[in-house]
């Protein structure tokens, strides 16, 4: 496919072509019609950027995909560029040093945020012509977008009514603009649009969203969506809320009709094709979506649904872990692919309507590949020793979204494996027990988990935590726990849900990750300052057969014991007798 792209570049006098991983909504997960970088490069990871010229081709990706990308790019003529590795330039740095005066660079402007697009243009010679290559890419790949049914969220799982949420948006905007100034607010993030209008769809695998945009001003709210796919209930709900519904295909044409003094939009969340002309007209005001749309702070109804979903998920996971460990003792385990599929089938049988992402089931050295995907023809056999890492989750219709990682011991372990597991467990427990000020951000919380990793000579290459949607995307990017602050990052308040997932990875040997989802709750006040703590939503035991108990502090033992008591209280009533017996035996650390 790279050679075909080069042929199109030559026909259209294009010197360089950047192919991004995004769809027009800059979604983390994308439908097949938007996986153009994957089709051209052969690299299947969710994050990566391809640069092609007449004689060169490079792919940039992050540490989650180094091993996978190196394998998939073999023989392609595409060189791997490891983001954030010493001596590796970023895409912008590379282009800034290699593009010539007067050359033509093509990008699909629908697949790059306006913030990133402006940064890219700043490093290019002023004589560089940047053209929109979207039509050429679609000519090359020729896949049409499909639209599926869109339904309303049942009242019992909603938060505020749509009218209230629209009014809240208008109130927050009024505090950011002068009195009497007319405005238009553009929102293109799919999960935010779905949350705003209490809708869910099925246009992207594992993420219950529908392709849509919304435009809100002081007097109207317009939703661009596939109207024929709206259920009768959804259409009636929108009409009652006073929302005007237009066809999804009309959105870009409608941008030229905006006639307000100011257009507010998040330059990090909206693509360049949406905002370039608006900015050129001098009416663009950059705002952060997470300051306007309060999606990360879950309502009481949403928390209730997420709690119910996690009880169901805990039952499935406890049964799965029990079965895997007992099968390992008899030597009857098969391979990563089959084991992962059995977990998926178990979730579906217990009320899950879809996975929240492709299940990661990785044995031994494969667990060091953070986003490993087992394939039926290349997966590893699973033996009765070492670790099996399983990172998985489910979408429970309208109730909630789960995400859990457990590393399961299958038999004899090495001292290195036990040390790594115990260290990761300690990191997980320390973060889960943290008390912190309301309104802080995730950079403050990161060291609670990472300090114990660093003390033991480990370095976790990925973030420690991410936000999670309520029957939406399993990765809610507005919330994070990381050493590195995000460009658009919300503060922590009661109602926020975040993952706690430290990990240790030794290439060619092992990987250990332990992940719970945590709900931010109130912890009272200290000297008049409101404080928060975490309450675990995930209620699945850790593997005490992999723990060196002598490494645990007394405090860590207390945290673990309290967590185990919570599991017993909340989950055991839903288990069969043999499952209860197994659970009781495996949460007793005394």
Same domain assignment for residues 436 and 330:
yes
Same domain assignment for residues 244 and 324:
no
**pLDDT for the residue numbered 64:** 73
* Per-residue pLDDT at 3 exceeds 90: no
- Domain's final residue, options 119, 141, 163: 141
**CA terminus-to-terminus distance, the chain:** 60
Same domain assignment for residues 58 and 197:
no
Residue 220 in any domain: the answer is yes
Whether the CB-CB separation of 215 and 254 falls below 8 Å is answered with yes
* Per-residue pLDDT at 16 exceeds 70: yes
Residue 146 in any domain: the answer is no
**pLDDT for the residue numbered 482:** 93
Whether the CB-CB separation of 262 and 182 falls below 8 Å is answered with yes
**pLDDT for the residue numbered 2:** 86
Average pLDDT, integer, range 374-399: 95
* Per-residue pLDDT at 589 exceeds 70: no
Same domain assignment for residues 280 and 390:
no
* Per-residue pLDDT at 423 exceeds 90: yes
pLDDT digits (tens, 9 = 90+) for 203-245: 999 999 999 999 999 999 999 999 999 999 999 999 999 999 9
Average pLDDT, integer, range 262-270: 97
d(CA 209, CA 201): 4
| Residue of higher predicted confidence among 44 and 474 | 474
Same domain assignment for residues 271 and 407:
no
d(CA 44, CA 41): 8
Average pLDDT, integer, range 293-319: 97
pLDDT-derived band at 159, boundaries 50, 70, 90: confident
Q: CA angle 221-225-231, nearest 5°?
A: 100
Give how far Cα 496 sits from Cα of 296, 354, 439, 441, 536, Å. Answer: 6, 23, 11, 11, 12
Same domain assignment for residues 136 and 179:
no
* Per-residue pLDDT at 78 exceeds 60: yes
Same domain assignment for residues 120 and 9:
yes
Residue 359 in any domain: the answer is yes
pLDDT-derived band at 370, boundaries 50, 70, 90: confident
Q: How many CB atoms lie within 10 A of CB 453?
A: 21
**pLDDT for the residue numbered 525:** 96
Residue 529 in any domain: the answer is yes
DSSP string over 394-415: EEETTTEE--EEEEEE-SB--H
**pLDDT for the residue numbered 127:** 92
- Pair of tokens at residue 422: 């115990």
Average pLDDT, integer, range 196-208: 97
Average pLDDT, integer, range 510-525: 97
* Per-residue pLDDT at 459 exceeds 80: yes
Give phi and psi for 359, each to the nearest 5. Answer: -60, 135
Average pLDDT, integer, range 279-284: 96
pLDDT exceeding 90 applies to what percent of the chain?
85
Q: What stretch of H or E contains 253? A: helix 251-254
**pLDDT for the residue numbered 541:** 97
pLDDT digits (tens, 9 = 90+) for 88-98: 999 999 998 89
Whether the CB-CB separation of 57 and 69 falls below 8 Å is answered with no
Same domain assignment for residues 71 and 127:
yes
Question: DSSP 3-state assignment of 530?
Answer: strand
**pLDDT for the residue numbered 578:** 96
d(CA 6, CA 99): 16
**pLDDT for the residue numbered 75:** 87
Worst-scoring range by mean pLDDT, 126-130, 141-145, 387-391, 555-559? 141-145
Same domain assignment for residues 121 and 103:
yes
Average pLDDT, integer, range 500-521: 96
Same domain assignment for residues 461 and 316:
yes
* Per-residue pLDDT at 62 exceeds 90: no
Residue 217 in any domain: the answer is yes
Provide the CATH number for the domain around residue 285: 3.40.350.10
d(CA 372, CA 46): 11
Residue 401 in any domain: the answer is yes
pLDDT-derived band at 85, boundaries 50, 70, 90: confident
The count of structural domains within the chain is: 3
pLDDT exceeding 70 applies to what percent of the chain?
99
pLDDT digits (tens, 9 = 90+) for 445-454: 999 999 999 9
pTM to 2 decimal places: 0.92
Provide the CATH number for the domain around residue 354: 3.90.230.10
Give phi and psi for 278, each to the nearest 5. Answer: -65, -40
- Domain's final residue, options 80, 111, 141: 141
Same domain assignment for residues 266 and 343:
no
**What's the mean per-residue pLDDT of the chain?**
94
pLDDT digits (tens, 9 = 90+) for 322-348: 999 999 999 999 999 999 999 999 999
pLDDT digits (tens, 9 = 90+) for 555-571: 999 999 999 999 999 99
Whether the CB-CB separation of 29 and 48 falls below 8 Å is answered with no
pLDDT-derived band at 183, boundaries 50, 70, 90: very high
Q: Which domain holds residue 47?
A: 2-141
pLDDT digits (tens, 9 = 90+) for 99-116: 999 999 999 999 999 999
Same domain assignment for residues 170 and 26:
no
Worst-scoring range by mean pLDDT, 58-67, 156-165, 280-289, 545-554? 58-67
- Domain's final residue, options 141, 160, 194: 141
d(CA 464, CA 427): 10
């Amino acid at each position: 496919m790279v050679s075909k792209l080069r042929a199109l570049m030559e026909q259209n006098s294009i010197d360089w072509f950047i192919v991004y991983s995004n769809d027009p909504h800059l979604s983390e997960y994308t439908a097949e019609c938007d996986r153009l970088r994957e089709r051209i490069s052969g690299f299947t990871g969710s994050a990566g950027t391809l640069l092609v010229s007449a004689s060169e081709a490079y792919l940039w990706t992050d540490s989650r995909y180094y091993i996978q990308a190196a394998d998939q790019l073999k023989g392609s003529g595409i060189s791997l560029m490891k983001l954030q590795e010493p001596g590796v330039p970023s895409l912008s740095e590379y282009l800034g040093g290699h593009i010539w005066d007067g050359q033509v660079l093509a990008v699909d402007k629908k697949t790059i945020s306006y913030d990133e697009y402006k940064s890219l243009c700043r490093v290019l010679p002023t004589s560089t012509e940047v053209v929109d290559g979207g039509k050429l890419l679609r000519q090359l790949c020729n896949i049409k977008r499909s639209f599926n049914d869109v339904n309303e969220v049942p009242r019992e799982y909603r938060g505020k009514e749509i009218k209230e949420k629209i009014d809240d948006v208008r109130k927050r905007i009024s505090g950011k603009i002068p009195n009497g100034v007319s405005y238009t607010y553009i929102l293109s993030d799919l999960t935010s649009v779905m949350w705003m209008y209490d809708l869910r769809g099925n246009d992207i695998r594992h993420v219950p969203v529908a392709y849509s945009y919304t435009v809100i001003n002081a007097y109207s709210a317009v939703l661009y969506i596939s109207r024929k796919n709206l259920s009768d209930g959804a259409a009636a709900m929108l009409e009652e809320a006073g929302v005007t519904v237009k066809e999804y295909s009309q959105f870009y044409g409608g941008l030229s009709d905006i006639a307000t003094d100011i257009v507010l939009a998040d330059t990090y969340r909206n693509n360049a094709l949406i905002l370039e002309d608006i900015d050129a007209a001098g009416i663009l005001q950059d705002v952060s979506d997470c300051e306007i749309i309060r999606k990360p702070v879950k309502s009481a109804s949403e928390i209730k649904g997420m709690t119910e979903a996690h009880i169901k998920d805990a039952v499935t996971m406890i049964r799965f872990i029990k079965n895997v460990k007992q099968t390992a003792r008899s030597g009857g385990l098969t391979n990563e692919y089959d084991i992962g599929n059995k977990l998926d089938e178990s979730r579906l049988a217990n009320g899950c309507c879809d996975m929240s992402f492709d299940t990661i089931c990785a044995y031994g050295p494969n667990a060091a590949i953070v986003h490993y995907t087992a394939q039926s023809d290349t997966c590893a056999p699973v033996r009765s020793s070492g670790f099996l890492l399983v990172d998985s989750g489910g979408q429970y219709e309208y109730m909630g979204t789960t995400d859990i990682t457990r590393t399961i011991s299958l038999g004899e372990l090495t001292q290195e494996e036990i040390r790594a597991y115990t260290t990761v467990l300690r990191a997980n427990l320390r973060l889960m027990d943290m008390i912190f000020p309301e309104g802080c951000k995730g950079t403050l919380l990161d060291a609670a988990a990472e300090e114990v990793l660093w003390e033991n000579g480990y370095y976790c290459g990925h973030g420690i935590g991410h936000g999670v949607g309520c029957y939406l995307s399993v990765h809610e990017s507005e919330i994070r726990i990381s050493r590195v602050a995000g460009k658009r990052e919300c503060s922590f308040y009661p109602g926020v849900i975040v993952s706690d997932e430290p990990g240790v990875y030794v290439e060619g040997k092992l990987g250990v990750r332990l992940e719970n989802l945590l709900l931010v709750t109130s912890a009272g006040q200290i000297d008049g300052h409101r404080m928060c703590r975490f309450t675990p939503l995930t209620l699945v035991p850790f593997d005490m057969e992999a723990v060196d108990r002598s490494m645990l502090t007394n405090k860590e033992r207390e945290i673990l014991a309290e967590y185990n008591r919570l599991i017993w209280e909340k989950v055991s009533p839903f288990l069969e007798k043999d499952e209860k017996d197994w659970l009781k035996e495996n949460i007793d650390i005394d």
